[in-house]
Amino acid sequence: MRVGVLASGTGTNLQALLDSVHGREVEIVAVASDKPQAQALERARAAGVPARAFPAGDHPGRDARDAAIADWLAAAGVELVVLAGYMQLLGAGFLARFPDRVLNVHPALLPAFPGLDAIGQALDYGVKVFGVTVHLVDEGVDTGPIVLQAAVELPDATGRDEVLAALRPLEHRLLPEAVRRIAAGRLRRDPANPRRVLT
């Protein structure tokens, strides 16, 4: 399966994919970012994967940028799009190009704490258990069907960096595993509940 990855930052989840599933269960054939200086682009190039930035200023709006990214991914033969720390919402037009084939990793146990700064939201709420969710992307904000989740107890956590450090290993394990399951054809909608996927 040919995979495209979108990332906005350092690209540690991209690196986890490169280290675990790339060249094995899947081929990562394109990496795109909304940030020209994103370290994720350098990680891709170091692995010999084509990488390209799509900054907002180069396009007349979100839909135009989404279309440009989708065209680039489609030209590379991408069958699955993985959002690995991509900090932009994708519109309906993009999602329609890759139906049930856009995967995201989120640093919270959805449906709790969707959207930006999930860890900050969880800290403000005073939770004792934090977690990671890998889900399919729909037109809502972190509302798509859940594929995998894992949790860690951090009863005394007080800072975002501390929580993020504890969640990173979960992200780096769950995201490649979800990609493996999709590549193996093990992911399907539950006919009894269209919001649920069976893996």
Angular region, 109: left φ>0, alpha ψ -120 to 50, beta rest = beta
| Burial 127-142, CB ≥16 within 10 A → b, else e | beebbbbbbbbbeeeb
Tell me which of 22, 59, 106, 135 is the catalytic residue.
Answer: 106
- 135 part of the active site: no
DSSP code per residue over 25-45: TBEEEEEEES-TT-HHHHHHH
| Burial 98-119, CB ≥16 within 10 A → b, else e | bebbbbbbbbbbbeebeeeebb
CA distance 57 to 38: 16
40 contacts 66 by C-beta, under 8 angstroms: no
179 contacts 103 by C-beta, under 8 angstroms: yes
Name which of 104, 105, 147, 112 is nearest 128 in CA terms: 112
Q: Which residues are catalytic?
A: 106
